[in-house]
Structure 1
Amino acid sequence: MRDKNYDIGVRSSGMSEEGNSRGVDWEKLLSISRKSIPFLILIFALTISAAIFYVRYIPPLFESSSELKLDVKEETSVLTFGVDPQKNNMNALSGEMELLRSKVFFSRLVDSLDLDVTIRTTFGNFKNEERYRNKPFRVEYQVKSTDLYNRLFNVHISSTDKYTLTYDLGEVTQRFEGKFGKPLVVNGGVITLFLTEHYSKGEGFDDYSFKINNKESQINFIQQNLKVEAQSLAANTIKITFTDNDKYKAYDVVNTVDSLYLEYSREQKMQANKQKIAFLEEQMGNTAQTLENYENYFESFTIENQTVDLQKDMAQTIQFLNQLDSQKRSLKIYQIKIDKVQAQLKNDEQLEFGSLTLENFPNSISELIKEINVLETERLQLLEKYNENTYAVKKLNNELKIYKQELNDQLAYLEKNISDELSRISQQKSELGGDFKSMPSKGTEYNKSRRFYELQEEIYLTLAQNKMEFEIAQAGTIPEFTILSSATLPGSPIRPNPMLAYGIAIVSGLFLSLVFVASRYLLHDKISSQSELERLTSTPVLGVVPNYKKEKLETTRLIVKDSPKSMVSESLRSIRTNMEFLHQSSGSRVVTVSSTVSGEGKTFVSVNLGGIIAMSGFKVIVLDLDMRKPKVNLAFDEEFMTSGMSTLLIGKHDLDHTIRTTKQENLYYIPSGPTPPNPSELLMGDSFKEVIRKLRAEFDVVILDTPPVGIVSDGVMAMKLSDLSVYVVRADYSKRKFIKTLNRLKHINRFKNISVILNDLSLHSMNKGYGYNYGYGYYSEDEESGIKPRKLLRFLKKEG
């Protein structure tokens, strides 16, 4: 019988397995991609669902920001009071930023904000929104213990007059029925709730929760969400940002920071000058009181004595004594100044002397005092911004120490000279003292008081001058504060961003899909197409058996009898024709059908190939040589086997007793029979060769269904007696490494009459491989199964 145009043809690539396994198998990749479509849809569904869940249930996060320009100007440098006019922008900016981040500033900030009570709307486990400006009720509280703070209180509003308050105390839930406006005593204090105009019964919910935050938790909240960073060092600009789930709270915090900063920074900068001015005022008060006492004494002395010159006759002597006294007074004043400077050096105080005071000192001492004052001023300015451990402060301290030591040495030397001069003057006065024994004691006391009065007067003027210098410095330090960009009310949240979330979901879906398909491709080690099979082996491909879709076969069946026009039947006819090309000798033929492992369909191919050959008028018999796991009998609906190949080979039965007929004309079979303990030895004996010889004489085609050659060696022994060996490979079941067994049979066992059948290939893979067309619209299998092949073919071509 000659077949129609259904011949697949015998094809072989002649290429080695190693040389063709390299590169990407696009056909296999496409097949895996098509089979992965449900999983890919699931991946995209999961990523999109995750994005929807994220956008829906993640609380929105808003960000408000402002930009400040800072420029601290020291106007006292213009008046040459020793202030360094040059500034280090980085240090100045860093100092201001640390001021804004300090807990002291945060403490004043929370005092100006309404953050002590946090009220939230209770929706469930997700997305509980905070009510900040639109609080449904106001909470007043009196704290008796810290247990009241940071505790979650749940409120259910029953009506505009009543509410239910619950909270957990240990493992016990406390429950109170309260009235709005009436105090409610709870653990840790007293709470009073007041309804506000923002509450509406028609909102659809009446469950809320609130928490009373202590000051420390409020400061921590500000500290965690407030960010202060330098925007531009050259322009001295600072950017302040605050993030929160409520946009109005974020706006209020940033706006309050801008408002408080000017006042707070000015207070911090002026604190040192205030302390110095207060000290000078106290000293001036004491000196003024002393001067007033002396003035009262002079007034009383003048009234009482009517004169201040009691010894006119000794005017010259008195004049000389006065000159000595004047010199002594000047030296005393000089010495007092030296003592004061030394005391200030000893106490590590700033040398509070003006330019007039320095005129009496030598130039070397005056220059040292000026230099020390300059360094002290710089040190005070640095201490306003940095602590004692800062490198710049340590450096100034070292310089001050050197200059003060040098000044102290020169003052000591100068003081010694003054002491020597005073000793000389005292000695002169002592020599003239005998001439003035008659001088009234009142005159002496008067002159003494006059000298001390002048000294106190000079001290008072010095204190007043120093006080004025510090007041000018305080008035001249002007922190300029410019808001370049005021606090912004956020319009949209920075998180979640729906477009970004969905974009990430899509990209993630694509990435995971690629990873999934690539993983399946790399892990897929099964043969899925005829072209892949041909690349792996040089053995001729006898044909392809498509997947049988009409019904699910629980066991092997002879389907060519019931569906002679099916795709399976037509493919087997093509294989039958190709077998004629491979074996053209006359006479009967022995065909061995085997595979690597069980389940690849060798029994299905053996039975149905025998049925197709029998339909062409040849007498065919199928032998079940798989005596360990027989299946041929099941294809012909025989469950129990009392006789078969096992009993035939041991001589218990003859051929007439073991050959069975089938419902297909000219088709016979011999089952495996009862399972023997030594199937391999039975096939190796002469009795098996004798059986094959007898069957050759009686039948046109003898088909041997052997055990899997990858598991046992029985099939190899049977293949030696056959004219044609057919090796069955099942699509998407047989692994690529199984081809090594086939190649070993060909090259090591030197079976030259071996060929391959690809079994159970899907319709799409057959149509995609070499464009084979089995006349889909014609076969009854397709019509009965409800498939419309032409439409399906167009769809698959479009998908491919």
Structure 2
Amino acid sequence: YSYLNNQDIVDTYAQLLTTEELLFQASEALGFPVRKGQATAKQVDDTKFVVLTVKDPDPFKAATIANGLVSIMISQNENLQSVQFAAAEKNLQDRIDQAEEQIATLETQISQISDEMLQSQIESVQLQMDDVQAQVNNLKTDMAQIYPGSLAVENIADLKSLTEDLESLTEEEIAQLTAYQTKLDEITPILELYQEIYTELVVLGQTTGASNQNPTDLDRLKTTLNLYQQIYISSINNLETLKLAKAQNTPTVMQVETAAKPTVPISPKPTETALLGAAIGLLITAAIVFLIEFLDDTLKTPDEIKAILEVPVIGFIGELKQSSKKGEDALGVYVAKNPRSPVAEAFRSLRTNLEYSSVDNPVKTVLVTSSRESEGKSTIAANLAIVEAQSGKAVVIVDADMRRPKVHLQFSKPNRMGLSDVVTGKLGIDDVLKTYDQVENLSIITCGTIPPNPAELLGSERMSQTLKDLKMRFDVIILDTPPMIVSDAQILSSKVDGLVYVVIPGQTRAITAMRPLEELRRIESKVLGVVANKIPRNRDYYYGGYNYYSPYSNHYSYHTESIVPNSEIDMDSKKVTPLGSVFEKYQRRDADKQN
């Protein structure tokens, strides 16, 4: 009479122990309030035992509440089971009593056949049949109120097949529905027997036509008697079956162990709580670090830059220090003012890599750009021009960024006349050339008047002719262009010998850096390599990207940056020899020895 298996029964009792109704009854019985949340029940794994835990500041009350809840639940369970089967037993017993009375009456009437007796019998059966029919209707109505789909169920087997559909009902509703269907299965056969008896009485009464045919009446009464005897036997069997089911389906709940007054509190436990908190904090911190690392899609290491961008890394430029209040705009002459710094040597290494990037076709025009703003492309272009000039070459740096020009700020030059004036034909190259007194062989062409159509101006034939004229006069031409978020650099890339792409490890996103390079490959522009800029000093590739420099980490004179004040520097009086020239001197000496 229940669809609950052993596991479900144990879980049900565990829930019953903490219901508000049970807690209320425990409060009434114990004389003090039992609050919700004080008691928790949990099944012991792989057993039918339930452990009841009660928390209370008073250890005596905790034990009392635990024992009281178990006692009340056992009592409730017995009452519930008794009520569940009592109504069914009463109905069956009434049916047996009625059958016994009818059997006794029929046995008496067998010898006293008459029309009046027949009519009386029909009326009696009619009343009994109506009574049974009313019970059937009431049961179906009660079932329909619980679950409308039960009207299509014919027996208990069909109801069991609807187990999945009954998941939305509570356990109490399922139990009531099952009990109603069981009663209905017991009453329906009885109703059918009554209907058969009624049919027999009515048919036989109509067909005899006379009341003095004793043999026919006698057969009728014997048939009716036989049917009542079947009702009696069926009711007896159903009653015995119900009693057996009651014995089998009544779960036995007993208290295995009595709750005793605890001697040690379960909380608080400061040491365990502190350790647990520390462990959870450590896990949360590790999870946050992992999440940040997982979501970080920036380019971080040289190997990662080379693998993702598919372009060699030709330069590693560390973070630059500047004592000037002008900030980043004054970093363009950093190499000139700090010739012995590791960053200056990194620019010389970049210069050497550019020279060997195309041995057969020397690179004379170099375009410097980046994927986005504030990646230091102007600073890279200015310092690269300085180290190229320090090697004895005639160098010109051209500010081709006609949107946000920076070269004039890097070298502290006016920007009234410049490249835009040359391209438009207003001035000649000699009119806009400027020099930087602190570095020989270095010329500067600033942006000049900012035009309304910089892309068209840079892509014009006049711009191409200007570059050809500069190639005839200078050994190296460095062009500072806007970042690749606009088309200016892309337009100029087809007019130069090569392009240098600036990224910042840890800041430049991979997808942001990849897209411009794809555009450059599409138009077959030559990308000489990537320059990793603003490398933090704690990175092992800060000193030019080579571990070769690490043995000198304890040499203060080599690694300490000589920050020269921003005032005018008399290079002749100071006699500062560029570090790159020293290295080249020793290289030439070694070559002469080998020859």
- Tell me the equivalent position of 1:695: 470
1:306-341: per-residue Cα shift (whole Å, max 9, x none)?
xxxxxxxxxxxxxxxxxxxxxxxxxxxxxxxxxxxx
Structure 1 residues 785 and 503: alpha-carbon distance in aligned structure 2, compared to 1, 3 A threshold = farther
Structure 2 residue 512 is the aligned partner of structure 1 residue 733:
no
Q: How does 1:496-515 map to 2 (within 5 A)?
A: 498=270, 501-502=273-274, 504-515=276-287
Structure 2 residue 488 is the aligned partner of structure 1 residue 714:
yes
Q: Give the aligned residue type for 2:357.
A: L
Q: State the 1:628 CA deviation.
A: 0.9
1:338-361: per-residue Cα shift (whole Å, max 9, x none)?
xxxxxxxxxxxxxxxxxxxxxxxx
- Tell me the equivalent position of 1:797: none
In structure 1, C-alpha distance between the alignment counterparts of 2:103 and 2:362, rounded to whole Å: 138
- Secondary structure in structure 1 of the residue aligned to 2:531: strand
In structure 2, C-alpha distance between the alignment counterparts of 1:384 and 1:544, rounded to whole Å: 85
Q: State the 1:409 CA deviation.
A: 5.6
In structure 2, C-alpha distance between the alignment counterparts of 1:102 and 1:548, rounded to whole Å: 71
In structure 1, C-alpha distance between the alignment counterparts of 2:263 and 2:439, rounded to whole Å: 82
In structure 2, C-alpha distance between the alignment counterparts of 1:717 and 1:101, rounded to whole Å: 78
- Tell me the equivalent position of 1:490: 262
- Secondary structure in structure 1 of the residue aligned to 2:560: helix
Structure 1 residues 760 and 415: alpha-carbon distance in aligned structure 2, compared to 1, 3 A threshold = same
**Equivalent of residue 683 in structure 1, options 450, 454, 458:** 458
Q: State the 1:573 CA deviation.
A: 0.7
Structure 2 residue 376 is the aligned partner of structure 1 residue 601:
yes
In structure 2, C-alpha distance between the alignment counterparts of 1:506 and 1:100, rounded to whole Å: 33
Structure 2 residue 357 is the aligned partner of structure 1 residue 582:
yes
- Tell me the equivalent position of 2:442: 667
- Secondary structure in structure 2 of the residue aligned to 1:555: helix
- Secondary structure in structure 1 of the residue aligned to 2:303: helix
| Percent of aligned positions that are identical | 27
1:568-627: per-residue Cα shift (whole Å, max 9, x none)?
111111111112212446988222222222222211111001111222222221100101
In structure 2, C-alpha distance between the alignment counterparts of 1:682 and 1:98, rounded to whole Å: 85
In structure 2, C-alpha distance between the alignment counterparts of 1:680 and 1:387, rounded to whole Å: 95
Contact 1:566 1:780 in 2 (8 A): no
Contact 1:767 1:773 in 2 (8 A): no
Contact 1:226 1:240 in 2 (8 A): yes
In structure 1, C-alpha distance between the alignment counterparts of 2:43 and 2:527, rounded to whole Å: 85
RMSD of aligned Cα (Å): 4.6
Structure 2 residue 476 is the aligned partner of structure 1 residue 783:
no
- Tell me the equivalent position of 1:656: 430
Q: State the 1:528 CA deviation.
A: 1.5
Q: State the 1:675 CA deviation.
A: 0.7
In structure 2, C-alpha distance between the alignment counterparts of 1:539 and 1:729, rounded to whole Å: 12
- Tell me the equivalent position of 1:44: none
- Tell me the equivalent position of 2:90: 397
Q: How does 1:374-393 map to 2 (within 5 A)?
A: 386-388=81-83, 390=84, 392-393=85-86
Q: State the 1:719 CA deviation.
A: 2.8
- Tell me the equivalent position of 1:318: none
In structure 1, C-alpha distance between the alignment counterparts of 2:405 and 2:307, rounded to whole Å: 32
Contact 2:501 2:527 in 1 (8 A): no
Structure 2 residue 319 is the aligned partner of structure 1 residue 542:
no
Higher relative contact order (CA 8 A, sep 6+): 1
How many pairs align? 403
In structure 1, C-alpha distance between the alignment counterparts of 2:467 and 2:262, rounded to whole Å: 92
In structure 2, C-alpha distance between the alignment counterparts of 1:546 and 1:247, rounded to whole Å: 68
- Secondary structure in structure 1 of the residue aligned to 2:328: coil
Contact 2:318 2:533 in 1 (8 A): yes
Structure 2 residue 61 is the aligned partner of structure 1 residue 242:
no
More helix by share: 2
Q: State the 1:222 CA deviation.
A: 5.7
In structure 2, C-alpha distance between the alignment counterparts of 1:227 and 1:780, rounded to whole Å: 72
Contact 2:340 2:562 in 1 (8 A): no
- Secondary structure in structure 2 of the residue aligned to 1:532: helix
Q: State the 1:725 CA deviation.
A: 2.3
1:679-709: per-residue Cα shift (whole Å, max 9, x none)?
223323343334333333332222111222x
- Tell me the equivalent position of 1:568: 343
In structure 2, C-alpha distance between the alignment counterparts of 1:660 and 1:100, rounded to whole Å: 90
- Secondary structure in structure 1 of the residue aligned to 2:366: strand
- Secondary structure in structure 2 of the residue aligned to 1:244: coil
Structure 1 residues 587 and 517: alpha-carbon distance in aligned structure 2, compared to 1, 3 A threshold = closer
Q: Give the aligned residue type for 1:713.
A: S
1:469-512: per-residue Cα shift (whole Å, max 9, x none)?
xxxxxxxxxxxx99864432234444555566455544543543
TM-score (normalised: structure 1)? 0.43
In structure 2, C-alpha distance between the alignment counterparts of 1:101 and 1:703, rounded to whole Å: 83
In structure 1, C-alpha distance between the alignment counterparts of 2:460 and 2:334, rounded to whole Å: 34
- Tell me the equivalent position of 1:533: 305
Contact 1:556 1:632 in 2 (8 A): no
In structure 1, C-alpha distance between the alignment counterparts of 2:557 and 2:296, rounded to whole Å: 34
In structure 1, C-alpha distance between the alignment counterparts of 2:466 and 2:427, rounded to whole Å: 12
- Tell me the equivalent position of 2:534: 760
More strand by share: 1
Contact 2:316 2:533 in 1 (8 A): yes
Q: Give the aligned residue type for 2:478.
A: I
- Tell me the equivalent position of 1:444: none
- Tell me the equivalent position of 1:643: 417
- Secondary structure in structure 2 of the residue aligned to 1:554: helix
Structure 1 residues 582 and 227: alpha-carbon distance in aligned structure 2, compared to 1, 3 A threshold = closer
In structure 1, C-alpha distance between the alignment counterparts of 2:475 and 2:20, rounded to whole Å: 103
Structure 1 residues 413 and 383: alpha-carbon distance in aligned structure 2, compared to 1, 3 A threshold = farther
Structure 2 residue 479 is the aligned partner of structure 1 residue 704:
yes
Q: How does 1:65-104 map to 2 (within 5 A)?
A: none
**Equivalent of residue 525 in structure 2, options 751, 770, 787:** 751
Q: How does 1:343-492 map to 2 (within 5 A)?
A: 386-388=81-83, 390=84, 392-406=85-99, 408=101, 485-492=257-264
1:702-726: per-residue Cα shift (whole Å, max 9, x none)?
2111222x23332234333323322
1:48-79: per-residue Cα shift (whole Å, max 9, x none)?
xxxxxxxxxxxxxxxxxxxxxxxxxxxxxxxx
Q: Give the aligned residue type for 1:250.
A: A
- Secondary structure in structure 2 of the residue aligned to 1:543: strand
**Equivalent of residue 773 in structure 1, options 549, 555, 567:** 549
Contact 1:595 1:729 in 2 (8 A): yes
1:5-40: per-residue Cα shift (whole Å, max 9, x none)?
xxxxxxxxxxxxxxxxxxxxxxxxxxxxxxxxxxxx
Q: Give the aligned residue type for 1:692.
A: L
1:369-423: per-residue Cα shift (whole Å, max 9, x none)?
xxxxxxxxxxxxx9966454x1x3234224422443355468879999xxxxxxx
In structure 2, C-alpha distance between the alignment counterparts of 1:574 and 1:687, rounded to whole Å: 34
Q: Give the aligned residue type for 1:665.
A: E
Q: State the 1:634 CA deviation.
A: 0.9
In structure 1, C-alpha distance between the alignment counterparts of 2:510 and 2:269, rounded to whole Å: 48
**Alignment gaps of 5+ in structure 1:** 1-89, 116-217, 269-381, 417-480, 787-800
- Secondary structure in structure 2 of the residue aligned to 1:634: helix
Q: State the 1:629 CA deviation.
A: 0.6
Q: Give the aligned residue type for 1:619.
A: A
- Secondary structure in structure 2 of the residue aligned to 1:712: coil
In structure 2, C-alpha distance between the alignment counterparts of 1:711 and 1:642, rounded to whole Å: 26
In structure 2, C-alpha distance between the alignment counterparts of 1:627 and 1:723, rounded to whole Å: 21
In structure 2, C-alpha distance between the alignment counterparts of 1:489 and 1:230, rounded to whole Å: 22
Structure 1 residues 782 and 106: alpha-carbon distance in aligned structure 2, compared to 1, 3 A threshold = same
Q: Give the aligned residue type for 1:724.
A: G
Q: Give the aligned residue type for 1:646.
A: S
In structure 2, C-alpha distance between the alignment counterparts of 1:731 and 1:99, rounded to whole Å: 62
In structure 1, C-alpha distance between the alignment counterparts of 2:488 and 2:18, rounded to whole Å: 89
After the TM superposition, which of the residue ranges 497-506 and 600-609 deviates more from structure 2? Answer: 497-506
Structure 1 residues 703 and 778: alpha-carbon distance in aligned structure 2, compared to 1, 3 A threshold = farther
TM-score (normalised: structure 2)? 0.56
Structure 1 residues 738 and 252: alpha-carbon distance in aligned structure 2, compared to 1, 3 A threshold = closer
In structure 1, C-alpha distance between the alignment counterparts of 2:515 and 2:310, rounded to whole Å: 13
In structure 1, C-alpha distance between the alignment counterparts of 2:330 and 2:528, rounded to whole Å: 24
